[in-house]
Amino acid sequence: MSMKFRLALALAFLLLPAVGMTSNAQQLRDAFRKVSQSVVIVRTKQIDLVPAPGQVMSIVDGLGSGVLISTDGKILTAAHVVQTADIARIEFADGQVVSAHVIGSDVRADVALLQLDKLPANMTPARLGDSDKMEVGDQIFVVGAPYGLGQTLSAGHVSGRHQFNKQPQSLTPIEFLQTDAAVNSGNSGSPVFTMDGEVVGIVSSIMSQSGGSEGLAFATSANTTRRILLDRRPFWSGIDGVLVTGDMAKALNLPQPAGVLVERVAGGSIAERMGLQPGTLRVNVGGADIVLGGDVILNVNGIPVAENEGNYDAIVDSINALKPGDALVIRVFRSGLFVKLSTPIQ
């Protein structure tokens, strides 16, 4: 073998990885161009207590991301972005801003469904894919608005799959995809895309000691989202609350082992229409911030709040079984008294 041939062969092997990287970069660029117009910024406002002496109220701005999934104006985002939002505005890539309202959410799965109040011009929805086909090692990319910087892309892989509520079988399974793609504040609700441009996850949270991305993020799988928000009638309570049990339940003089302490109620929600009262006093209990003074939910449609999540699906199923015009009934503990609240389902 001549020296010239050996040199040419060596150069060919050195160039092979570069060619592969160029091809992958081109695929990523093409995929981004295909889906970028479907990714939105979600800006919210809500009235909240200021954690300072006097406990005055103020308007708090919120920020997240989302993705348009239908031509009739439905948008997916993370539940914690909009669960108690009084106002939600959607900012599109071309600068259009449209108001929206929440029509469904699930705080356990951390996904929510919004409906645009009017349809903007030139909408380009993304397609919801089959997350069951994803395997550890598959390439994905995330597009969102970390720190408000819209249309930001980060690439990575599916680095794990985690399913909760496997037992008992009555509980709705919830799956999260783990990824090493960079995710930061403002990315909540960002779509996770396959290289073909299909949405396979909605960013929920990161695990971080620094507060920034450390390569450990989680997204609610597309199939979990589909089962909870699209395959059945979506429901939004508009409540932010905390499950109280044990010593806390005793301190609040609850007549049963567990209840949901209502901390916030979103304007325009079914909770507001029912007359649920939110908390009025922010305190720190055992290192955790809790807002006291609000109603404590004892049961929903006759189903008691339990110490674990065993009754959660039963409560959700009872709500889903209601027809338009049927009454949603809850029993609360308010200032030492039992109060029954109800409102018709629309």
The catalytically annotated residue of 48, 86, 106, 110 is: 110
Predicted local confidence at residue 6, as pLDDT: 56
Domain end marker among 199, 228, 257: 228
86 is catalytic: no
Average pLDDT value for residue range 290-305: 94
Q: What is the pLDDT of residue 209?
A: 47
- Domain assignment present for residue 74? The answer is no
Query: Do both 192 and 172 map to the same domain?
Result: yes
> What is the separation of C-alpha 304 from the centre of its chain, rounded to a whole number of angstroms?
26
* Residue 243 shares a structural domain with residue 339: yes
Backbone angles phi, psi at 185, to 5 degrees: -55, 130
pTM score, whole prediction: 0.87
Q: How many domains does the chain have?
A: 2
Whether 96 is covered by a domain: the verdict is no
Asked if residue 157 is part of any domain, the answer here is yes
pLDDT tens figures, 3-16:
555 555 454 555 55
Q: What is the pLDDT of residue 309?
A: 66
Catalytic one of 188, 204, 221, 237: 188
* 138 is a catalytic site residue: no
240 is catalytic: no
Q: What is the DSSP letter of 176?
A: E
Return the higher-pLDDT residue of 71 and 208.
71
Domain-located, residue 9: no
Residues of the domain holding 244: 239-344
Using alpha carbons, list the distances in angstroms from residue 134 to 137, 140, 340.
9, 10, 46
169 and 131 assigned to the same domain: yes
75 Cβ neighbours under 8 A, 6+ residues apart = 40, 42, 66, 67, 68, 69, 90, 100, 113, 114, 115, 116
Active-site annotation holder among 80, 131, 154, 269: 80
pLDDT tens digits along 246-280: 999 999 999 999 999 999 999 999 999 999 999 98
How far is Cα 222 from Cα 199, in angstroms, rounded to an integer? 7
Q: Is residue 175 part of a domain?
A: yes
User: In this predicted structure, what is the pLDDT of residue 139?
Assistant: 96
Q: Are residues 340 and 254 in the same domain?
A: yes
Contact of 266 with 46, CB cutoff 8 Å: yes
Q: For the domain that residue 330 is a member of, what is the CATH number?
A: 2.30.42.10
Distance of alpha carbon 144 from alpha carbon 246, whole angstroms = 40
Domain CATH for 167? 2.40.10.10
Q: Would you say residue 43 lies in a domain?
A: no
